[in-house]
Structure 1
Amino acid sequence: MKRMGLAASALSVLAMAQGVQAAEIAAADDPANAVEAVVVTGEKTARGLQQTVSSVAVTTAARIERENIQDFYDVVARTANMSETYGKTGFTIRGVSNSNVSGGGTGGLATVYVDGAALPQEAVYGGPLEMWDIGQVEILRGPQSTLQGRNSLAGAVIITSANPTYTPQFRARANLASGDELVYAIAASGPIVADQMAFRFAVEKKDSDGFIYNPNLKRDMDAVDNLYIRGKLLLTPSALPGLRALLTYAHNDRDSGYEFTYSRTDRPDYYDHRIDLSGDPSRTKTKTDILTADIAYKLSDKLTLNAIASFNAVNTDATIDFDMAPAHSSYGTRAQTTKTDSQELRLNYDGQRLKGLLGAYHATRDARDLSSSLTNVPFPRATLVSVLTPSLLSGVGNPTPAQQAAAAAQASAFANLYVASLPVIPVNYSGSQPSTIKTSAVFADATFALTAKLSLLGGFRYDHEENTGRSAQTASFAGTYPTPASFGPYASYVAQVNAFVAGMIAQANASAPEGTREFNAFLPKFGVKYQWTPDIGGSLTAQRGYRSGGSTVNQARSSVAAYDPEYTWNYEAALRTAWLDGSLTLNANAFYTDWTQQQVVVNLGLNAYDSEVRNAGKSHLYGFELEVAQRLTPRLSWYVSLGHTRTKFDDFKVTAGALVSDLSGSEFPYAPHWTAAAGVDQRWDNGLIAHLDGNYRSNAFSEADINQARTALIKKHLVFNGRFGYERARWGAYVYGRNLLNATYSQYTRTDIPVALLSEPRIIGLTLETRW
């Protein structure tokens, strides 16, 4: 009854449509057959897609509307050479994760910008990534270090919300879908002072029960409660011709399941009946605030001065059940606060032969990371044997091989008994790892036309970073030590091993003082572009990518481990073509990337938490993207995209005590060899509309491992989506389906517990919308 009442409220929204004017629907109302004009802004200058040599996938507002794209991860699924990682918690671009490839490094590899603000990694799961009233999403594939700096070695994502208009506009939408999902949204825009000041306001409220139920806690584990509010103010004062100022404030408040929300796989029909048996709730609450000022002043016909300042704060509070068992035995909390402010001053020049920009940038990011937990650490049996064996030979001056073998066998036999008595080590842990990163840079990018057809491309960035961090943590034993009485002839060893366990915990009970590291990087880009005809052009470019070094906390040793920057060289060829009077475009990029000084996680052998980041890797990747779009008539259009990526670790060794695992030859996690997407959109004169699209991901691996195909395979999958409805100038009603054929696959499967991150099930929904 509750949902019926809410649906009735949604219908009442449509009744407000009396006397309103029609919203513009570009694909339906444009009399020309030309493919929708796209302007790319992610390279800090406005440039047509056909004139952009970087590999850019652009999702416009019209496409968001046509394809019922609801959040950023819908864009990921439809983009060539992109994939989700660990469910909707991250993504890869050309096989490179936005966070890291091999577990190493604390800085991201691909930054998400929302209205000019660079979001920290934790916001990629719980931040403002809904697509309501979004103007455009740009995916820049490949290193963007020259223009974007740190954390853009894999690429960058530019999300820009719709801007204020001097013409009044209003939209309202209600959406009801599977998983007991209900979404209300409104957006309004219009003038405050005619032709001088305008506003835009957008709100979206989303509630969903999700699909995973916990019978122990009697609650939905992946339920979502999300509120997104955004306001924008545009100033173009007549007293200052050439001045344009855009102010944006956005707030997102999200309460959802923990970012890794697993389902049991030891139940029949576990895709259809998703169950979690945790005894403690796993939830994540994220609050995000973004404030941006973007001011441009046209100094002359050729020169424009831009000043962009932004501030964002992301606060995340998470509770986690580590063992996902009914017992209240292994759980924790984590609170993260990241505040980022940045300033950029840029001069853009648009001449006949020379076009380019020169800029300066500074940013400060303050992060606080507080965690506490009761954790069951798996007992390091191999470490115990290696420690105990020499002590058994301490009274033997020069032991023979037979004596060494006997001591090892005795140590192994005792270890079996001890580990049976204490299979996990319960540890009470609390830690604090604050850090501050200050980044300053100067950068330039330019195109110079040598002839009417041949142009030189060039750019550089000089980046300076100060990375300051420290660590404070406490750890204590939270269980009961084994007593000698139950060990028979091995009783004398118990006290020694109890002391060994206490020593390991004590080693983690310390602090690391504050330290600062500085990094400098010169990041050049150069290339050539040739325009064979007005509709056919190509280019060759080379660009250096970069991720800064830093420090990570080794929890087992309570030490801060420093590591150095990593670099790539990316070599790229691009082709841009338009055919049939612009109604058909075919664009392609091919790339090869060489990666050195790769940051990887190594384990030093004490236990599972004795890990730190080192520069221990080398790898390469190559592939291509092909994207075709055509508008056959003003009301019928289609597109196809194809991506291919091959990744390989050339040098990747992981050390765990005396054991060295050589992972050279393995592939990057979440890097399918093939990605593809296709869609068709039809609109009839009588108001009926139909859209169908599909996306494909070939087999991939969920982690870097010696036996990837056996232990970490994500099977290939094909997902279809559709949207069908009826619309008039002032309102529309639609039904839609996501994953129409109910494709099933696991994004990640645990080997220690029978749980997995399962694919999204089939979803059917109803949308009602009004437009003024």
Structure 2
Amino acid sequence: MTLSAGSAMAQEASQTTTTPAPLDDTIIVTGEKSARSLQETQTSVAVTTAQRIEKEALITIQDVYNRTANVSETYGSTGFTIRGIRNTGATGSGNADTATVYVDGAPIPRWALYGGPTDLWDVKQVEVLRGPQSTIQGLNAMAGSIVITSKDPSLTRWSGDARVQWTEHDDRTFSIATGGPIIADELGIRLSAERRADRGLIRNVTRGGYDDELKVLNLRGKLLWTPSALPGLTALASYNRVRREGGYLYEYARTDVADYFNNRVSTSDQPDRGSIASDIAVLNLGYDTGGRVKLSSVTSWNRSKVHSTIDGDGTAEDEQFIDNRYLYRTLTQELRLNYEGPLLSGVLGAWYYRRSGAINANSRINITTPTSTISSLLQASGFSASSASAISTAYAALLPVIPVEYQADQPEKVETMALFGDGRIHLSSRLSLIAGFRFDHETNRYTAETTASFTGTLPDTDALGSAYAPVVSVINAGVLALVDDASAARASNRRRFNAFLPKAGLSMDWTRDLNTSFTVQRAYRSGGSSQNPAKATLVAYDPEYSWNYEFSLRSRWLDNRLTLNANVFYNDWRNQQVTAHFGSSTYDYNTVNAAKSHMYGFEVEAGARLSAMFDVYASLGHIRTKFDHFDLPEGTTSTVDLAGTEFPYAPHWTLAGGINADFGSGFTANLNANYRSAVYSSVGQNQSDSKLAGRTLVNARVGYDAGAWEVFGFVRNLFNDAYDQYRYDAVNLAILGEPQTFGIGAGLHW
């Protein structure tokens, strides 16, 4: 049982007045397409239950990241790492993800993660599956996956919950959920809603107000039907609607002010905002034959519409502005057959996935005048190296940056079909063979059309003296040509990929309470096409593959009052997708396959019932990552060398733990803490310049529950540990972690 097991203990403890009871054993893992208990799941999975969400006052999925071994946030709310691998890839290159967040079975596009339906009100369970899930999940699961499941309707009784929370920083949240049987034992409904209004912390001294002000409305409805006329049939339909208006996916605060962690200000003259409209519909059909076979069908549809704007220079001057719009629709269909027999158990399924949409970019950007390129052109025209360098430097003093208005339309379509299977063959009463496979066929089409125009004023031809007028005239023409080269008519690349992903292993039940296993599996991330913004060309790149070797331990001790689970892994990753530059400007880059790496580490998780009053839980994660080789293709001018360096946001150590106390008569308390060691926020040989110090966050919640009502207080980052999520020292900007925050709340239950 993982850390979250402990959160269920306190509820049981309130019903126990004598000896300690066994740990809860009802947490079921569903992310592997089969219903197995935690102790029967060899995959490294951390489960956060509804009880733990309540007892630790967790609000968003980012709270779960911070409390899970070998999981970490990246740039604010933009994403996460699992075992040191970012959800967008180790270097952020490539179009496919390496990890996906699912909400009630629907995959959420990366562009909506920072404000989509990932808040935790009325959520039943969050599963973080660490390590490749390519056999089961297939698409975008090289690092793992996160499965969020909301609460289902009850068919036996009506009930409801309402809650209000308020923090000292004027973050107000109003939540309600209710449901019950429309037809007893046959048709049930559950409705939930949450409204969050957060004033924000980063005061804008140029425009007024707060850059990270936030307003979110999350609505969800679910219908559960188990028709008495068709015994064994279950139909669960859900719809989730999220509307979010707030700060951009990350917000910068200035670091050139006194006590910047507690005095957060910005100077941007343009709004840094993110607007998200997310709609998710899921239909889950299941038919239990009453024997060993269960048939399932899961259909999901979601639409994510995102509008992001950001001040590109972060100053009070109107110099750069980025305005991006994303619209994506995703349709999935999965058919599964689950079989549970004495000699064989497992799942066999078919999967279809289609994502279509586009990115529309409309930006005003400044490109640093490329003095090296100008110097090379002058030398090719007969100037000496010293003269060419002097002229290009003098020209750059007149035109330090090239102001460009850049527009791009980038539609894409990804279509995937797969067959998969995962099962166990029981060779004896103790020894089982683990086997799985996935055959994945993907077709993706990437299209791009760009328009770039010069919006500044070119230096006068006599600016360097009349003798150099012809030279300046030629350089001016070259600047205009450089900008024009970034414009291109619509072009499209269509790519097809086939991947066979096997899995094999052995599992040994030494006793009822002690199990070990060893598995080997192949993981895959598809290739695609990327646009070189400067040259407006589409460049193909190939897939990535990895092999993961993993040992697991599942154990229970002291009459089930203690669980101790562990996973140890090694991963070999080849043909990694990275970004390479080709010289003409800052924007002359595209994705190539150039890196090889490995990683290893472990997770240990434990939960223990100390008494009828107290239970504790803890986790420890360790990860080491390293780029072994980095071989760029000919023609690149990149100076970054990844060989021998680590992945960004891959902390060597993560540690979390907590204690629940049930004092009786409704009084409860929780104290928890999580530690993340230092991380690098960039890649390459100079990544030590981007090192972010480790941080320790301590949180607490105390409450009184009278049954029909409750009141509680909580604090996040109790000791106000000042930490950065990202620093950009060249322009005195940083993404800051959450400060010390006190809050109160009240709830009703019926």
Q: Into which bin does the TM-score normalised by the smaller protein fall?
A: over 0.9
Name the CA shift for 1:581/1:24 in 2 (closer, same or farther; >3 Å): closer
Are the equivalent residues in 2 in contact too, given 1:389–1:411 (CA < 8 A)? yes
Alignment partner, residue 622 of structure 2: 644
Alignment of 1:344-743 (within 5 A): 344-393=334-383, 407-488=384-465, 489-653=467-631, 658=637, 660-709=639-688, 711-743=689-721
**Equivalent position amino acid for 1:160 in 2:** T
Are the equivalent residues in 1 in contact too, given 2:21–2:609 (CA < 8 A)? yes
Q: Aligned to 1:158, which of 140, 147, 151?
A: 147
Alignment partner, residue 297 of structure 1: 287
State the alpha-carbon separation in 2 of the partners of residues 76 and 657 from structure 1.
Answer: 37
Name the CA shift for 1:521/1:632 in 2 (closer, same or farther; >3 Å): same
State the alpha-carbon separation in 2 of the partners of residues 373 and 659 from structure 1.
Answer: 25
**Equivalent position amino acid for 1:430 in 2:** Q
Alignment partner, residue 4 of structure 2: none
Alignment partner, residue 101 of structure 2: 112
Name the CA shift for 1:460/1:328 in 2 (closer, same or farther; >3 Å): same
State the alpha-carbon separation in 2 of the partners of residues 218 and 653 from structure 1.
Answer: 48
Alignment of 1:194-233 (within 5 A): 194-233=184-223
Q: CA deviation at 1:320?
A: 1.4
Determine helix, strand or coil for the equivalent of 1:487: coil
State the alpha-carbon separation in 2 of the partners of residues 69 and 387 from structure 1.
Answer: 58
Alignment partner, residue 20 of structure 1: none
State the alpha-carbon separation in 2 of the partners of residues 610 and 477 from structure 1.
Answer: 17
Name the CA shift for 1:24/1:35 in 2 (closer, same or farther; >3 Å): closer
Which digits, 9 at most, give the CA deviation of each residue in 1:419-468, with x for residues without a partner?
A: 11111100011110000000000000110110001000000000000101
Q: CA deviation at 1:657?
A: 5.1
Which digits, 9 at most, give the CA deviation of each residue in 1:687-742, with x for residues without a partner?
A: 22111000000111001021222x11010111100001211111111110000001
Are the equivalent residues in 2 in contact too, given 1:258–1:319 (CA < 8 A)? yes
Q: Does 1:53 align with 2:42?
A: yes
Are the equivalent residues in 2 in contact too, given 1:512–1:558 (CA < 8 A)? no
Alignment partner, residue 81 of structure 1: 70
Which digits, 9 at most, give the CA deviation of each residue in 1:83-115, with x for residues without a partner?
A: 000112110000000112113111111000000
State the alpha-carbon separation in 2 of the partners of residues 25 and 336 from structure 1.
Answer: 44
State the alpha-carbon separation in 1 of the partners of residues 329 and 378 from structure 2.
Answer: 48
State the alpha-carbon separation in 2 of the partners of residues 620 and 526 from structure 1.
Answer: 20
**Equivalent position amino acid for 1:559 in 2:** T
Alignment partner, residue 96 of structure 1: 85
Alignment partner, residue 286 of structure 1: 276
Q: Does 1:33 align with 2:21?
A: yes
Determine helix, strand or coil for the equivalent of 2:469: helix
State the alpha-carbon separation in 2 of the partners of residues 116 and 421 from structure 1.
Answer: 56
Q: Aligned to 2:240, which of 250, 260, 281?
A: 250
Are the equivalent residues in 2 in contact too, given 1:603–1:654 (CA < 8 A)? no
Are the equivalent residues in 1 in contact too, given 2:14–2:664 (CA < 8 A)? no
Alignment partner, residue 32 of structure 2: 43
- Identity across aligned pairs (percent)? 44
Alignment partner, residue 8 of structure 1: none
Name the CA shift for 1:350/1:515 in 2 (closer, same or farther; >3 Å): same
State the alpha-carbon separation in 2 of the partners of residues 590 and 604 from structure 1.
Answer: 40
TM-score by length of 1: 0.94
**Equivalent position amino acid for 2:419 in 1:** V
Are the equivalent residues in 1 in contact too, given 2:9–2:615 (CA < 8 A)? no
Q: Does 1:183 align with 2:160?
A: no
Instruction: List alignment gaps of at least 5 residues for structure 2.
Output: 1-7
Determine helix, strand or coil for the equivalent of 1:412: helix
Q: CA deviation at 1:325?
A: 1.1
Q: Aligned to 1:148, which of 134, 137, 140?
A: 137
TM-score by length of 2: 0.97
Alignment partner, residue 397 of structure 1: none
Are the equivalent residues in 2 in contact too, given 1:653–1:663 (CA < 8 A)? no
**Equivalent position amino acid for 2:502 in 1:** P
State the alpha-carbon separation in 1 of the partners of residues 541 and 513 from structure 2.
Answer: 47
State the alpha-carbon separation in 2 of the partners of residues 29 and 726 from structure 1.
Answer: 13
State the alpha-carbon separation in 2 of the partners of residues 660 and 85 from structure 1.
Answer: 24
Q: CA deviation at 1:368?
A: 1.0
Q: CA deviation at 1:29?
A: 4.0
Name the CA shift for 1:610/1:751 in 2 (closer, same or farther; >3 Å): farther
**Equivalent position amino acid for 2:11 in 1:** A
Over aligned residues, Cα RMSD in angstroms? 1.4
Q: Aligned to 2:52, which of 40, 46, 63?
A: 63
Are the equivalent residues in 2 in contact too, given 1:453–1:531 (CA < 8 A)? yes
**Equivalent position amino acid for 2:209 in 1:** R
State the alpha-carbon separation in 2 of the partners of residues 385 and 163 from structure 1.
Answer: 67
Q: Aligned to 1:134, which of 90, 113, 123?
A: 123
Q: CA deviation at 1:654?
A: 5.8
Name the CA shift for 1:254/1:27 in 2 (closer, same or farther; >3 Å): farther
Are the equivalent residues in 2 in contact too, given 1:566–1:595 (CA < 8 A)? yes
State the alpha-carbon separation in 2 of the partners of residues 618 and 593 from structure 1.
Answer: 11
Q: CA deviation at 1:653?
A: 4.8
State the alpha-carbon separation in 2 of the partners of residues 551 and 689 from structure 1.
Answer: 54
**Equivalent position amino acid for 1:614 in 2:** V
Determine helix, strand or coil for the equivalent of 1:125: coil
